[in-house]
Amino acid sequence: MKIHFSNQGNLRNFQAFVRSLDFSDPSKLEITTHDKWITVHPAHLVLAAALAVKVGKQNAAILGDIPDTGRYLDRMGLYKFTKTPSTFAYSEKEPAGRFVPLSEIKTADDQSCFIPEMVPLLHLSEQNAIVVKYIFSELVRNVLEHSLSPYGAIVAAQYYKKTNRISIGICDTGIGIWKSMRENWQPKTDLDAIRLALTPGITGTTRNEGGSIENGGAGLFFTKSMAKITRSYFAIYSGSAEYTLLKHRSDIKGTPTLYADPFRDRHTATNDAPAFEGTLVAVDISLDETPELTALLNIISQVYDDAIKERKRAKFKGPKFI
Amino acid sequence: MKNMIKMHQLIGDFAENKEVAKKLREEIILPSLSEGNEVILDFEGVEGATQSFIHALVSEPIRLLRNDALERLYYKNTNDNVQSIISVVYRYMQESLAI
């Protein structure tokens, strides 16, 4: 497998990154970088780390001449997942910025320990911290419950001061979305499965409205909606499918309209990406645009309710006119 | 009879651990409600909760016991965030069950 970190690593270019991946040799992982400048999103790092865990540290390497900006890979902990020793040296007192380094979460108890430890690293206001906690909790829980991966979730996050934005990446090398949706929904393609997974009220565990005992089918929809309301990007990659929610246009004022169907949102999507055995979720949250969680939830829940009503109405029997 | 559950002691500042939700649901909430008792969930000190946690905690009691659960489950010391999440779950459960 081969991953290349370019100098354009943001979610706007996420599909280009996905298309550049090479999974042809699953026995080893080779990570290369742009020779002069590296820009990576946490999503790129979690994918690399998750694949490194899967192939084993001894079969994962960072190759070639790494530019000075490659020290970021070291600070985020990527070298620890590979056999390549880091050539970067820095003082522990050097300002490290506000980030959550690559971390592995394998159990619900790991998650409960990680969440309160992680948020202080980002130095967020109380209002923003609760939104970030919410997103991390729901996305990691999705992995632990649905991915069936023995390796759990790999997570990372970065705060960008210039744009006042938090970027989050969460990845697993489990069964992928299509398989987790297959039993109850029979999606034809990986992209159909992603579409279902992003639709409010739909969970892979049941076809019943209101979900199952354990799942309401809202985690991914809530997260995507938080990205949309804060006019940010959201991306999801599983199997051969990749979907990116594009940033809401800045010239359109007011709260962005939410849709139950992710294909009604401004987005890009493909169903012929290199086939990835697992799921990668990436989200940006613009803190300038973040309303209080209560307000966010009120907007999101209205769409959730409407989606349930619409699906129920679709099942109504019509009058028999003869 | 009333059963009070101090949530902060069990789930900390942020309610996200569904294993805890499942244990509470199976060992306290459902048995208490089924016996005709009231259950008070005290969220003092809890700053937030995920929809998944609240769903795992109360959706099954609502699904099984309908109005008996809605009438005998109480939430105490909830801040706006927690109230919003609980309200979301109540709305979609009643919508989906047509209570």
Spell out, as residue ranges, where chain B has pLDDT lower than 70. 99
Residue A295's pLDDT is: 84
- Closest residue in B to A128 (Cα–Cα): B48
Contact criterion met (CB < 8 Å) for A130 and B47:
yes
Q: What is residue A55's three-state secondary structure? A: helix
pLDDT at A311: 84
Q: Is the pLDDT of residue A94 over 60?
A: no
Nearest to A185 by CA among A240, A223, A194: A194
Strands A99-105 and B14-15: unpaired
Rounded to whole angstroms, the Cα distance separating A184 from A190 reads: 15
pLDDT recorded at residue A92: 57
Using CA atoms, how far apart are residues A168 and A224, in angstroms rounded to an integer? 12
A317: pLDDT strictly greater than 90? no
Compute the distance between CA of residue A121 and CA of residue A119 in angstroms, rounded to an integer.
5
Residue in chain A closest to B19 (alpha carbons) equals A108
Label residue A231 by pLDDT band (50, 70, 90). Answer: very high
Contact B48 A133 (CB under 8 A): yes
Other CB atoms within a 10 A radius of the CB of residue A3 amount to 22
Mean pLDDT, to the nearest integer, of A128-154? Answer: 94
The pLDDT value given to residue A93:
54
Chain B nearest-CA residue for A110: B17
Q: What is the pLDDT of residue A224?
A: 95
Q: Please answer whether residues A219 and A305 qualify as being in contact, where contact means their C-beta atoms are separated by less than 8 angstroms.
A: no
Q: Chain B contacts of A297, Cβ < 8 Å?
A: 81, 84-85, 88
Whether pLDDT at A320 is above 80: no
First to last CA, chain A: 63
Q: Does B45 touch chain A (CB under 8 A)?
A: no
- Once rounded to an integer, what is the mean pLDDT over residues A206-226? 86
**What Cα–Cα distance (Å) separates residue B68 from each residue in A75, A96, A262, B73, B78?**
54, 54, 36, 8, 21
Please report how many Cα atoms fall inside a 13 Å half-sphere around the Cα of residue A277, on the Cβ side: 13
Q: Which residues contact residue A257 at a Cβ distance below 8 angstroms, ignoring those fewer than 6 apart?
A: none
Q: Which of residues 49-88 of B touch A (CB under 8 A)?
A: 50-53, 55-56, 59-60, 63, 80-81, 83-85, 87-88
Task: Choose, out of B96, B97, B99, the residue to mutate when testing the contact with A (most A CBs < 10 Å).
Answer: B96
Q: Does B48 touch chain A (CB under 8 A)?
A: yes
Between chain A and chain B, the number of residue pairs with CB atoms below 8 A apart is: 110
Under a CB-based contact definition with an 8 Å cutoff, are residues A240 and A275 in contact?
Answer: yes
Cα atoms in the 13 Å half-sphere on the side-chain side of A158: 23
- Asked whether the beta carbons of A245 and A265 are under 8 A apart, the reply is yes
Supply the pLDDT for residue A173: 98
Q: pLDDT tens digit string along A169-185?
A: 999 999 999 999 999 99
ipTM: 0.91
Amino acid (1-letter code) at residue A20? S
* In chain A, % of residues over pLDDT 70: 98
**Stated length of chain B:** 99
- Flag whether pLDDT at A316 surpasses 80: no
CB contact under 8 A, A213 and B85: no
Q: Each residue of A265-305: pLDDT tens digit?
A: 999 999 999 999 999 999 999 988 778 788 888 888 888 88
What is the Cα–Cα distance from B13 to B29, expressed in whole angstroms?
21
Q: What is the largest CA-CA distance in chain A?
A: 83
B7 touches chain A (CB under 8 A): no
Banded pLDDT at A312 (limits 50, 70, 90): confident
Structure tokens at A298: 């009120």
Beta strands per DSSP E along chain A:
2-5, 29-33, 60-62, 99-105, 153-160, 165-172, 234-239, 241-245, 267-270, 276-286
Average pLDDT over chain A, rounded to whole?
91
Whether B92 and A216 lie within 8 Å, measured CB to CB: yes
Minimal C-alpha gap between A113 and chain B (Å): 10
Tell me what pLDDT residue B99 has: 62
pTM of the entire predicted model: 0.94
d(Cα B81, Cα A74) in Å, to the nearest integer?
37
